[in-house]
Amino acid sequence: MAIKYNKCPRCGSLNVIKIIYGMQTHDAFLMTEEGKIKLGSCCITDSEPEYYCKDCENEWGRQISIDKAYNEIIRIKTSVGGYFGGYFEVDIDYENRKLKWSHLCAGAEDYYEKTIRQNTLYKFIDELKMLNLLDWKSKYIEPDVCDGTQWSLEIIKSGRNIKKYGDNKFPDEWDDFCRLIRNVSGNVFS
């Protein structure tokens, strides 16, 4: 699931139009009259809102949609590994700031749990935004390899889970994601 910019972050409405800047043409005027677009006022800066909600008159830009989507996450579970080296799993529960790390190999489990600091968690969430976690595809499969590395990611939001996985194929940000998980867990994850 990618981020839905055209959903109102305040009321959840999809009755949303784009705000267009610097377009004073006749067509733009007609589209405005029909309520298809909203014309923004003159100055264009990075913080100008891009979307307008016709239900509650809220205006917002993409960064607000991104922040809202990442703030809805309450827990992240991820695993990586293969048949021979076993699987590493990390489960980060935002609400009580508990991190569980485990390694499962040939029936034996190595396991620990720790509490992470609020600041560490905020930094972690910021890093996930940089890694475009929510924009990853739901599966990455390399069909011609039968063993090798499998990974999974579960993003838990209130009321909804998003699952992504891969088999010998990875998102571009995968290595940086593993590095981040190693940093926050203080243990092996690769």
Report the residue from 53, 76, 128, 178 that binds Zn ion according to the rule CB under 5 A.
53
Radius of gyration (Cα) for the chain, nearest Å?
A: 21
Decide whether 9 or 86 has the Cβ nearer to Zn ion: 9
Q: Among 63, 42, 41, 39, which residue's Cα sits nearest to residue 52?
A: 39
- Beta strands 150-157 and 108-115 are unpaired
CB 164 within 8 A of CB 153: yes
15 binds Zn ion (CB under 5 A): no
Decide whether 11 or 145 has the Cβ nearer to Zn ion: 11
CB 103 within 8 A of CB 110: yes
14 binds Zn ion (CB under 5 A): no
Cα four-point dihedral sign 24, 28, 33, 38: negative
Report the residue from 1, 23, 56, 141 that binds Zn ion according to the rule CB under 5 A.
56
Secondary structure (3-state) at 142: coil
Q: How far is the CB of 47 from Zn ion (least distance, A)?
A: 19
58 binds Zn ion (CB under 5 A): yes
Q: How far is the CB of 53 from Zn ion (least distance, A)?
A: 3
Q: How far is the CB of 68 from Zn ion (least distance, A)?
A: 12
Q: How far is the CB of 94 from Zn ion (least distance, A)?
A: 26
Residues of this chain that bind Zn ion (CB under 5 A): 8, 10-11, 13, 53, 55-56, 58
